[in-house]
């Protein structure tokens, strides 16, 4: 088959890790008889530098012309001083919104070879971690009205509005229930219904849906309790669904308990093509260009692309198995523990390609 893939290499370590994922995809193409056509799309701080906008005109159209988008990372301290709408992060939010990518899937898996890399107690890590965080990605406080105004007696005051509609909650809820059905049939919905009105609506919609999915074991978890449970015993979770900002925070926490944020991929999908696939780590400007970055999260994001956008589970399995085989031999980059000295970005790519 033939696929068009948009590559947003981005900033910092983005270009290096995308390079390795492209090598892996090309190898998959040879092995399974597919052809991939890549289109580079400029977005992020590098776009601000090149054309004065982090989200150049036509970015979404270029992506829509492809079957899927692979993104490295955007952002960095270099652009901390620029105005809010020029920030690289603004481009990320814009593309999520413009492509309608309301469902962000962030699997946190303790890979078999890495039980000792988890910062959790051995007996906790031994129980395993295999959860899927489903984060609402185009609503809530990330996209609500913002305001900044001068008060008479309290200096400057700001507001960020958190809004959710039933429609937005229902569509992410359905995704989560459907995913739970394909996994261990457990769904935890995370909210702050003891305080927030948006959470009370969230919970009532989830309860209504749960009646339609009686085969899925459903529970409500308050967000503060969820943060605690993720370090106490993450093995209790299968699918976790939550709103945008809670999901941002909890997915970093969930990733860390698996040993390294450098290992975890993500998929952002909507109701139509294209999906966007990206590692959950950032642009790590401190190690950019030094061949130190871990390419595994991006390579596993490519695996998710095969699974969710191309509906090619064998190709996805092949990539995941190749990663596990390399990890089982003790190879590691500097961000996580393994046997011997850490290896570089390209060497890790070589080893994974070698297994394919």
- Fill in the per-residue mask, 243 to 262: x = in contact with Mg ion (CB under 5 A), - = not in contact: -----x--------------
Contact between 89 and ligand IPM by CB under 6 A: the answer reads yes
Which residues neighbour 74 within 8 Å (Cβ) at sequence distance 6 or greater?
Answer: 8, 10, 11, 14, 43, 44, 45, 54, 88, 89, 91, 92, 283
Smallest separation (angstroms) from Mg ion to the CB of 249: 7
User: Which residue number places its CB atom closest to ligand IPM?
Assistant: 89
Contacts of 128 (CB under 8 A, 6+ apart): 110, 235
Applying CB under 6 A, does 320 fall inside the site for ligand IPM? no
Examine residue 11 and tell whether it contacts ligand IPM (CB under 6 A): no
CB-count exposure of residue 1 (10 Å: 0-12, 13-18, 19+): exposed
Q: Which listed residue (238, 248, 277, 308) is catalytic?
A: 248
Active site residue 252: yes
Contacts to Mg ion from residues 26-85, by CB under 5 A: none
Indicate if 153 belongs to the active site. no
By CB under 6 A, residue 261 contacts ligand IPM: no
Q: Say how far apart CA 138 and CA 95 lie, in whole Å.
A: 10
Residue 243 touches which of Mg ion, ligand IPM, none (Cβ within 5-8 Å per kind): none
Task: Please state, in angstroms and rounded to a whole number, the distance separating the CA atoms of residues 324 and 305.
Answer: 18
CB of 84 to ligand IPM, least distance (A): 12
Binder of ligand IPM out of 248, 315, 320, 335 (CB under 6 A): 248
Smallest separation, CB 13 to Mg ion (Å): 16
**142 counts as catalytic:** yes
Alpha-carbon dihedral 282, 283, 284, 290, rounded to 10 degrees: 140
224 included as an active-site residue: yes
In the bound state with ligand IPM, the residue whose beta carbon lies nearer, of 92 and 187, is 92
- The strand pairing partners of 240, in sequence order, are 133, 188
Active-site entry in 67, 102, 192, 277: 192
247 touches 280 (CB < 8 A): no
Residue 108 binds ligand IPM, judged by CB under 6 A: no
**Exactly one of 5, 22, 66, 92 binds ligand IPM (CB under 6 A); which one?**
92
Distance CA 207, CA 342 (A): 47
> Count residues contacting Mg ion (CB under 5 A)?
1
277 is catalytic: no
CA 23, 262, 282, 275 dihedral sign is positive
The answer for residues whose C-beta is within 8 angstroms of residue 185's C-beta and 6 or more apart is 215, 216, 217, 238
Q: CA of 333: how far to CAs of 12, 77, 278, in Å? A: 17, 24, 19
Site residue total, ligand IPM (CB under 6 A): 4
Q: Could you list the residues that contact Mg ion (CB under 5 A)?
A: 248
> Annotated active-site positions, please?
142, 192, 224, 248, 252
**What residues make contact with ligand IPM under the rule CB under 6 A?**
75, 89, 92, 248
């Amino acid at each position: 088959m033939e696929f068009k893939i948009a590559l947003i290499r981005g900033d910092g370590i983005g270009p290096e890790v995308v390079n390795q994922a492209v090598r892996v995809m090309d190898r998959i193409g040879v092995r399974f008889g597919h052809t991939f056509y890549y289109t580079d799309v400029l977005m992020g701080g590098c776009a601000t530098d090149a054309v004065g906008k982090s989200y150049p005109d036509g970015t979404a159209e270029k992506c829509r012309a492809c079957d899927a988008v692979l993104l490295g990372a955007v952002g960095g301290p270099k652009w901390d001083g620029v105005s809010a709408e020029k920030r690289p992060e603004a481009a990320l939010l814009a593309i999520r919104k413009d492509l309608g990518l309301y469902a962000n899937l962030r699997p946190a898996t303790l890979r078999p070879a890495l039980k000792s890399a988890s910062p959790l107690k051995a007996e906790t890590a031994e129980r395993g971690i295999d959860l899927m965080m489903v984060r609402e990605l185009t609503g809530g406080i990330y996209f609500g009205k913002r305001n900044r105004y001068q008060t008479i007696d309290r200096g400057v005051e700001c507001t960020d509005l958190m809004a959710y509609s039933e429609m937005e909650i229902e569509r992410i809820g359905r995704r989560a229930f459907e995913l739970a059905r394909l996994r261990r049939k457990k769904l935890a919905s995370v909210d702050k219904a003891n305080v927030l009105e948006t959470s009370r609506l969230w919970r009532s919609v989830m309860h209504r849906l749960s009646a339609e999915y009686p085969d899925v074991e459903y529970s409500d978890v308050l967000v503060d309790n969820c943060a605690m449970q993720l370090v106490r015993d993450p093995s209790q979770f299968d699918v976790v669904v939550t709103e945008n900002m809670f999901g941002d925070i909890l997915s970093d926490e969930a990733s860390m308990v698996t040993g390294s944020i450098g290992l975890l991929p993500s998929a952002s999908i909507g109701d139509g093509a294209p999906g966007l696939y990206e590692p959950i780590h950032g642009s790590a400007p401190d190690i950019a260009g030094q061949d130190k970055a871990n390419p595994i999260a991006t390579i596993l994001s490519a695996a998710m692309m095969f699974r969710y956008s191309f509906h090619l589970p064998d190709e996805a399995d092949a990539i995941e198995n190749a990663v596990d085989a390399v990890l089982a031999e003790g190879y590691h980059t500097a961000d996580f523990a393994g046997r011997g000295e850490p290896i570089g970005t390209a060497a890790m790519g070589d080893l994974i390609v070698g297994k394919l």
